Structures are given as C-alpha cells and as structure tokens.
Amino acid sequence: VERSSGSSRRMSLRRPCVELSRICGAGCTEYTEASVFCSSSKMDLPSESLTAGQQHASTAVSLISGSVGGTMQVLVGQPLDTIKTRAQIAPPGTITGPMDVAKRTLAQEGFLGFYKGMLSPLFGVAGVNSLLFGAYAVSKRIVSPYPDLTVLQTALAGSMAGAVNSVLASPVEMFKVRMQAQYGKPNDLRLREAVRLMWEKWGFRQGIMRGFWVTVAREIPAYAGFYTGFEVSKQAFQKRYGSAQTLPVWTLLCSGAMGGIGYWTCCYPLDVIKSRIQMADQPPKGINYIADTWRTICREEGGRALFRGLMPTYLRAVPAAASTFVGYELTMEFLQKHTNI
C-alpha cells in the first residue's frame, strides 16, 4: 500500500490481515508481514479506500456488537439505575438519599425490585445500542476520512451518534422510568399496560415520544463524553501495550468505565429533567419546557436537586459502561476474526 508524500518512510508491520483486508480486500485471517509506505508511524489510511460493501459490513459488525454490549449493560447496571431514577423523581421531603431509596426498595419489593423496569430497556437494547454504535461508526467516517480521530473529532462523532440514538432511546427510557416509579403495589402496571394507556390517552407524540427533545439535549453532550472518555483511555493503553488487538480485557474495562463517567458528567442535570418530564401526569407544554422544568426544580427544591442520585449513577457507570464496551469490543473482534462480515 502506498501513500505519496515527500517525507514517506518504509516500515514493516505485523498485524492481523483482517485489518489489512479492509484495504487490500484479501479477506484472510492469517498473520502476515506487510510493507507500508506512510508519512507517520501510524497507518492512517482514508476510509474512502474501503469499498461500499466493506463499509456496509463494518457498520453491520458495529450493529451486532452494539446489541451485545447493550444487553450486558442492562443486566449489570439495572439495580443502581433503579435507585438513581427513584431518587430523581421522588417528591421533595419523601426520601433522605439514595441509601434510603435502596432500603425502601429492598423492604417493600425484595431484591427483584431493583430490576423493576428492566424489560423496557432489555427489549429495546438491541435496537438502541445497535443504532448507537452503528451511528457512531458512520459518524466517524463523516467527521474524518482517517480512522484515527482527534479528541475533538471523537467528541463530535459521539454527539452525532447520540442525536441519532435519541429516536429509540426516548421511548425506551420513558417506559423504563415509569416502571421504576412503581413500588410493588397491587395496582402496578405491567409494561404492555403502560404502553397501551399512554397510547390511548396521549397518542404517539405526547405519549410514546414524551420527552424526546430533552432526550436529544441530553444525548448530544452525553455521548460526546462517553466516546471521548473511552477512546482517550484506550489510546493511552495502546501506547503501553500495543495495538487494539493485543489489549488485555482489563484495559477495556477501565476504558469503558471512563466512558461511563464521561457520559454522566456531561449530562446529569439534563437526565434529572428528562426523568421528571417523562414521569409527569401531563405532557410538557410550549417550546421552552426544558428550561421551564429546570427553573421549577431550582425554585422549589434548590440547585442540588439537579444532582440527586448522582452517586449511585457514578457507581453504576463503572461496571455498566465497562461491560458495554467489553461486550462490544470482544464481539467485534470475534466477528472480524471468524466471519466474513
């Protein structure tokens, strides 16, 4: 493979040909020696060198890997997510903190109460995370023709993916929040009943898609922080341990944890506002409903209410995001190694 440059120099690389097959189309999975002319120590070839079929295959790998990662995220993170949501939507003066929520949940519903509302994200996780990681793969190619992005480009690609992801994330999270708000009473609704009632009473826009625009406002900065935290950490580990294919699993766990912390650091107040809007009895009114809800919370409960539930959220972010990225990365590596995708 040649790139024309006045400062080109020759270097020999030993890497899986599954990576080189994206360029040469060889399609083999054996290790090989490759001689490359490039202008730097990285082999950053433009994504335009991929054929249309190869780009579609790359997106398909991201979709499948994203669904696996999302399923792991739900299974690992749901208990602390339930505590977080119940702390966010609790009326003023009814709880003393996240630990109080945890004690009440355990006393009234038992351990399974922490998994309340899991069916909504579990049913939607394949679509949501497939869309997210697929959109991120496409966004990276839009942002830059080269695979190695700068921090700013990574943040931009992540924010673009987050905006696209809102289409599915909004209804999935709306019903998750509503199911988590139920404390195990005899008249609690099942998921299908909650969906039917919202549809019959409010329709699609004000019912099923309630809180869509606040979800968009949350997802844009959230996934900028999510992917930036992961990619920056992963690149730091690569400098020490070599290529992405040789990174130990624990480095992916750490990088995923940094992604999760970055996610919530960038968006938490907006997540509180989203939960309040989606849990309200009436749909929001006007185009300024996000700012109106923000002002109402600050006026009635103080600015600290915008950060209620942050501690269990951070505790959840580490294992949940770590498991997401490990599931995603290992699935992608498996598919690239053992299939023709």
Domain ranges of the chain: 1-45, 52-338
d(CA 84, CA 116) in angstroms, rounded, equals 12
Contact 226, 213 (CB under 8 A): no
d(CA 311, CA 309) in angstroms, rounded, equals 6
| Residue 128 confidence (pLDDT) | 84
Burial of 61 (0-12, 13-18, 19+ CB in 10 A): buried
CA distances (Å), origin 134, targets 57, 61, 64, 149, 326: 11, 8, 9, 17, 16
Strands (E), 92-199: none
d(CA 116, CA 74) in angstroms, rounded, equals 12
| Entry field: residues in the chain | 341
Q: Over its length of 341 residues, how does the chain's per-residue pLDDT go in tens digits?
A: 334 444 443 333 333 333 333 333 333 433 333 333 233 334 444 544 555 555 556 667 877 887 888 888 888 888 999 999 999 998 888 888 889 999 999 998 898 889 888 888 877 877 787 788 889 999 999 999 988 899 999 999 999 999 999 999 999 999 999 999 888 777 888 899 999 999 999 999 999 999 999 999 999 999 999 999 999 999 999 988 877 777 888 888 889 889 999 999 999 999 999 999 999 999 998 889 999 999 999 999 999 999 999 999 998 888 888 888 788 888 888 888 877 66
H/E stretch holding 195: helix 191-202
d(CA 242, CA 57) in angstroms, rounded, equals 26
The residues that bridge with 32 in the sheet, in sequence order, are 15
| Residue 282: closest CA among 195, 211, 184 | 211
| Residue 210: closest CA among 176, 163, 257 | 176
- What token pair was written down for 154? 């990574």
The residues that bridge with 12 in the sheet, in sequence order, are 35
| Residue 269 confidence (pLDDT) | 97
Burial of 328 (0-12, 13-18, 19+ CB in 10 A): buried
- What token pair was written down for 88? 């966010």
| Residue 57 confidence (pLDDT) | 60
d(CA 177, CA 180) in angstroms, rounded, equals 5
| Superfamily classification of domain 52-338 | Mitochondrial carrier domain (1.50.40.10)
